[in-house]
Chains A and B, each alone.
Chain A
Amino acid sequence: MILFTAPVPNINQRLELLYLLIALVLLALALVGGIGWIFETLIKKYGDQVDAETWKIYETRTVNTPKEFAKIAFKKSHRQAFKDYFWALLTIGLMLGILFGYMTLMNDPTLIADLTNYETRGFNTIFPIFDWANIPTSNFFGLNIISDWPTLLNVPRFVPEATISYVIFLLTLFGGLLLTRATLALIGRTLRIQNKRNQIFMKNLDDVAKKL
């Protein structure tokens, strides 16, 4: 609020604000980098499933060409993907079953419209809701940037009528996480197979030289 009441900021204040803005941007970038690193690590971890499933086939020379290796590795990967997606889709199916079952049995067709409502019986009643659309802004160096917190529209509270919305929200969240996990695992396995299919059958003279 000081920013609104104060007269035109002097050069030092402007510089401080600029440094603060730069620091915030760098912090946001570091956060995005951290999230990306987590996803990258997960993909690598899930890719290791291929090693556990195919090492015996390779070690015993049951397959002798990259094509044969990729064929059996993809078959195993698809079988694993089926198992992963099965649980994810079962959770989402359960959520839809509960939603439409409740609406039919209780004769309550407006529930689907109220699911995200924070004023009546949506799951948003347990979250703080800010008025991001009307966030206070000020003009700095010709740029219209955020200068204060937005107004709080909803104080988190438990509403007993919204219990069904909470259950549906939790099931959706869990189903979404399982679906993301299944997709990341599929990406990891596919990349691992594509990377290793040629490498493991490669005749490398450096390795021969090490043995001599």
Chain B
Amino acid sequence: MDLLVKLFKRIALGAIYLVGSPLIAFAFAIFLTYGLLVFIGVSLKSIYLFFSGRGVFTPFPEDIVAHKRYQFIMKQTPNTHKAEPNVTPLPSTPTGPKS
């Protein structure tokens, strides 16, 4: 029964897609044009950034701020899952302190 309902849904969807296909094709063409314009825009911006001595695909300022804040939050949050042994080996003994 479920399979039959699914099949009828698929058929109805097919009819909707078929009727709306000119509109779908038009929307796809609009997005393709938008994508190509974005490509040209980002290319020109990248060339300008490159020749002015700045990085092309460097992280955004918002990303840097978010990363710092995230690290700060992670440090503030106590790690309750696993207790790490706080053992620091001595510099003179590579294998660590002998017991």
Contact = CB atoms under 8 A, between A and B. Distances in A.
A22 to B, nearest CB: 11
Contacts of B27: 187
Contacts, number: 89
B14 A183 contact: no
Interface stretch (A55-63, A133-141, A164-172): A55-63
Contacts of A182: 35
B38 A29 contact: no
Contact of B39 (A31, A34, A85): A85
Please report whether the interface of chain A is mostly helix, strand, loop or mixed according to DSSP: helix
Given A60-B66, A63-B62, A85 B36 contact: yes
Main DSSP-derived SS at the B contact region: helix
Contacts of A81: 35, 38-39, 42
Contact of A62 (B17, B31, B42, B65): B65
Interface string A5-42: 00000000000000000000010111111111100000
B49 interface: no
Interface stretch (A71-79, A119-127, A142-150, A155-163): A71-79
A33 B12 contact: yes
A89 B31 contact: no
A86 B39 contact: yes
Interface string B53-73: 000010010110111011001
B60 A75 contact: yes
A179 interface: yes
Contact of A33 (B14, B43, B66, B70): B14
A144 B4 CA distance: 32
A62 B32 CA distance: 32
